[in-house]
Amino acid sequence: MRFKFVKEAATVVAIAASIPVFATAAVAAGSHGGGAEIGTPGAVSETTRTIEVKMYDNFYEPETIDIREGETIRFVIKNEGELVHEFNIGTATGHAAHQEEMMMMVEHGVLEADRINWNAAKKMQASMGHGAHDDPNSTLLEPGQSGEVVWTFPEHATLEFACNVPGHYDAGMMGEINLTH
C-alpha cells in the first residue's frame, strides 16, 4: 500500500508541473514562509536542544513539536521517503505563498519527484532570483539525505512545519509547533 501512495504522490508532482501558475513579484522573490514573525536564524552555540525529524511519504515523525517561546532549536532532518521533501518553518499563510514558489520550481525542472536538478536551480536563480532554495528556515532534501535547520522561535506565533512540494501539504505533510511560555 505504501508503494502505491508513493507512486500516486509522484504522479501529483508530475501533474502539478503541467498546471500554469501566475506568481506575484513578492512570491517570485523567495519569501519561504514569512519574516521575523516566524522567528530568526539561530546560532548552534545558542541551541538549548536538538530535535530529530524524519520525513516520510507524506508525513513527519514527530507530527507535533513543543517549543518554548524564544528557544533556539537545532533540527536534524532526514528524508526517509522515496520523494523529494521539504522541512519549512512558517505560518499557514506563508506556506500557501511558498507552495506557489515550489510549483514554479517544478515548472522550471528544478524539482523532480525523487531528485533536485541543481543545474536547473542555478538557471532559475539567475533568471528569477529564486530556485536555490537556501533560506535558513527551510531545507529541501532528496531521498536518503539529511539536513539541519537552527532556528530561534518568536513569542506569540502560530507556526507549523510543512513540506511545500506540490501536493504534499494538501496530502497532510505538515506538523504543528506548540509554542509555550
The residue-averaged pLDDT of 102-131 equals: 90
- What pLDDT digit, counting tens, does each position of 163-176 carry? 999 999 999 999 99
What is 20-55 written as a DSSP string?
A: -----HHHHT--TT-SGGG-EE--GGG-SEEEEEEE
State the pLDDT at residue 125: 87
Domain that holds residue 107: 2-31+39-180
Neighbours of 32 (CB within 10 A): 24
| Dihedral angle of Cα 1, 110, 148, 58, to the nearest 10 degrees | -20
State the pLDDT at residue 26: 28
Our count of domains for the chain comes to 1
The three cell numbers locating residue 44: 548552534
State the pLDDT at residue 108: 93
- What pLDDT digit, counting tens, does each position of 14-52 carry? 334 333 332 222 222 234 445 668 999 999 999 999 999
User: Cβ(58)–Cβ(162) under 8 Å?
Assistant: no
- Give dist(CA 60, CA 76) in Å, integer: 13
CATH number at residue 108: 2.60.40.420
